[in-house]
Amino acid sequence: MQSRQRGAARRDVDCFSKLGIVRSNTAKNNKNKKKKKMDQAMSNVARAVESGATTIRGIVDATGLSRLKVERALHALEKQKLLLRDSRGFTAPGMLATPQVRQCGSCSRCCTLLEVTEVGKSVNEWCKHCDVDKGCTIYDDRPQMCRSFNCAWLQGHLADEWFPERARMVVHFSQDAVNVQVDPGYPDRWRQEPYFSKLCEWSLNGIRMNGNRSYATLIVSGPDKFLLLGRTIVPEPTLFGTAFLPVAAETFRYWKARSPEHLHRLYGRITEIQRIQQEFGYCAIPDDDDPYPPYRPALLRLSNHPHAESDAESA
């Protein structure tokens, strides 16, 4: 009798133990799902704010999220200092609050240059719902992407010469970039003044930002893509990143990475170049784009520093 009771008790313990494991795994899965949903909500809210939505109601309209989800996402973003709140509403760090309200007027450049997947519109083609004389023919039922989009000129960040219909390009912000979509009929418009100097200024600000997120300045002109590093133009930047080193106030040397590991090595050599510059006041910048450690001996020899050989041997 006692043996059967002990066996039953053991089975009960095993059963409860397995049940506890199942519950634990279920709880972890639910927690992961909630985190993914929260991350997605935060991403949508951040994009809405950077596109010009500054109030909770505006963010709700732009994202389609419930007010409760928007408020939770805003709280999390503020806590991480990814959004700022003031008397005028919400803004992204490094971006000015909208100083004035503008209207699209006769401009429908975004309906031409930008992609809108919800209506099957590709980049650099007229939207089938855009009437040149009347504007959007489905305005009341336009996709969420169109509802939430506001170009930088419309937000008031740019002077009148940046009016997209006049400038022949659309500037808009994302979480980590200033994006410039250029009319393929005017492929070099962004290289002209006063546009180029302003883009260079943005680029330098994005590189030098302290205390906030840095951002890139990207230009898309027809099939061509460019990254701006001050006044240095990087054609066809890679997805893995571009390592760069300042050589003057507004110009840079750069190397395009072919993998994350390659980018790490490029920046490792840049760090050593800067260290040698501090020690000797000068370091030659190599032309090759595939360095391997140790970087110091080759850099010292290339720079022809006095006692470079002895320094290299001890490095």
Q: Is 29 exposed, middle or buried (0-12, 13-18, 19+ CB in 10 A)?
A: exposed
192-249 residue pLDDT tens: 999 999 999 999 988 887 545 678 999 999 999 999 999 999 999 999 999 999 999 8
55 pLDDT higher than 50: yes
Average pLDDT, the chain: 82
pLDDT of res. 17? 55
Q: Which residue has the higher pLDDT, 33 or 81?
A: 33
Which pLDDT belongs to residue 46? 78
| CATH code, 1-93 | 1.10.10.10
Q: pTM for this structure?
A: 0.65
- Would you kindly state where each structural domain of the chain is located, as residue ranges? 1-93, 239-315
> 131-163 pLDDT, tens per residue?
877 888 998 888 888 888 889 898 888 889 999
Split at pLDDT 50, 70, 90, the class of 25 is low
Q: Average of pLDDT values for 64-74?
A: 86
- Distance, in Å, from the CA atom of 142 to the CA atom of 135, rounded to the nearest integer, reads 12
Under the banding of pLDDT at 50, 70 and 90, the label for residue 96 is very low
Q: Is the pLDDT of residue 98 over 50?
A: no
